[in-house]
């Protein structure tokens, strides 16, 4: 998306707290080229798969809630049990929704979402402790249900269909119709566009449908990286990100960065631009990967213990 990429590039040029190390970026690119790091397959263990309508609806609900899984200071992280194993974070959310659907809960029905209560949402998610920003999550699902009922006959498929096979049009539709997808910040008096969860929905459709049917888009290559808190953690571990001392101390001490502050915007914008530079470097070396595939690679690396030595930045937000 040109507005996401261009505004990220502009922030990266002006950044004071975050710098991209081109040598480390080159080293990582060569590892990818040598196939030491590969694009992960779509995870079918934790994700639900059913009819086309059910799968698309599931992914839209999932990506509507795909943000902020870490616990507040002094709190225990939210976990669920799934097939005799403990899950936390994004995969816990994916699996919790999958279990709810399998149990017969109508969590992907627009009318149910529109009237969903906090108590019911807690039952659906289950697990130990609870996710942060739970009331915000409820508002997001209520809004989603209402918009689907009012404009798309209650069907997520109709929303996707209205994008006409364009991932970018789908992203813009989500941003236009649903306030919770309007992931925009400001930096030095100019707007910066991220659209993290809206872009992830298009990429998840691609992954879940193997790039066919409802996952077939003519412009999927135009998606950018999805600026979250895990990718910057990985980029920093790889040496691709250099934080200024003041920012490094805040991140390492888990001091909250206010949503929209210049430091947070620099971290997110540089994430998008660093992935684009990796994509360009790989293309120069003869390996064609799309930005969202590089994003998937980095996020997957972030699930390994060695990439968690230093913490990720903390920002309380519904956008990631």
Gap between the Cα atoms of 262 and 34, Å rounded: 36
- Cβ pair 97, 230 in contact under 8 A: no
Return the active site residues. 228
Place of tokens 């449908």: 209
Closest CA to 108 of 59, 164, 43: 59
- Cβ pair 151, 145 in contact under 8 A: no
Torsion of CA 264, 266, 271, 277, to 10 degrees: 180
- Can you list the pairs that 80-89 forms with residues at least 24 positions away whose Cβ atoms lie under 8 Å? 80/125, 80/126, 80/127, 80/128, 81/127, 82/46, 87/46
Gap between the Cα atoms of 21 and 72, Å rounded: 31
């Amino acid at each position: 998306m040109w507005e996401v990429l261009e505004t990220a590039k502009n922030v990266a040029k002006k950044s004071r707290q975050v710098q991209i190390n081109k040598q480390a970026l080159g080293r990582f690119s060569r590892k990818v080229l040598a196939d030491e790091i590969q694009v992960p397959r779509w995870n079918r263990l934790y994700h639900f798969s059913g009819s086309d309508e059910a799968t698309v609806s599931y992914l839209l609900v999932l990506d509507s809630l795909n943000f902020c899984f870490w616990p507040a200071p002094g709190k225990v992280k939210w976990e669920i049990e799934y097939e005799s194993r403990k899950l936390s974070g994004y995969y816990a959310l994916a699996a919790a929704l999958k279990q709810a659907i399998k149990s017969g809960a109508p969590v992907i029905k627009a009318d149910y979402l529109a009237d969903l209560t906090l108590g019911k949402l807690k039952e659906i998610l289950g697990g130990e402790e609870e996710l942060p920003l739970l009331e915000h999550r409820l508002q997001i699902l209520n809004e989603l249900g209402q918009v689907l009922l009012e404009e798309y006959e209650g069907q997520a498929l109709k929303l996707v269909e209205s994008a006409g096979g364009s991932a970018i049009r789908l992203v813009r539709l989500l941003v236009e119709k649903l306030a919770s997808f309007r992931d925009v910040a400001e930096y030095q008096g100019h707007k910066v566009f991220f659209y993290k969860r809206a872009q992830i929905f298009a990429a998840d459709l691609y992954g879940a449908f193997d790039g066919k049917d409802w996952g077939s888009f003519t412009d999927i290559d135009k998606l950018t990286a999805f600026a979250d808190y895990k990718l910057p953690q990985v980029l920093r571990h790889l040496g691709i990100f250099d934080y200024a001392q003041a920012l490094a101390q805040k991140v390492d001490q888990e001091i909250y960065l206010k949503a929209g502050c210049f430091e947070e915007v620099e971290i997110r914008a540089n994430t998008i631009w660093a992935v684009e530079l990796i994509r360009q470097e790989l293309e120069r070396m003869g390996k064609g990967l799309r930005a969202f595939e590089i994003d998937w690679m980095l996020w997957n690396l972030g699930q390994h213990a060695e990439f968690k030595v230093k913490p990720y930045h903390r920002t309380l937000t519904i956008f990631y």
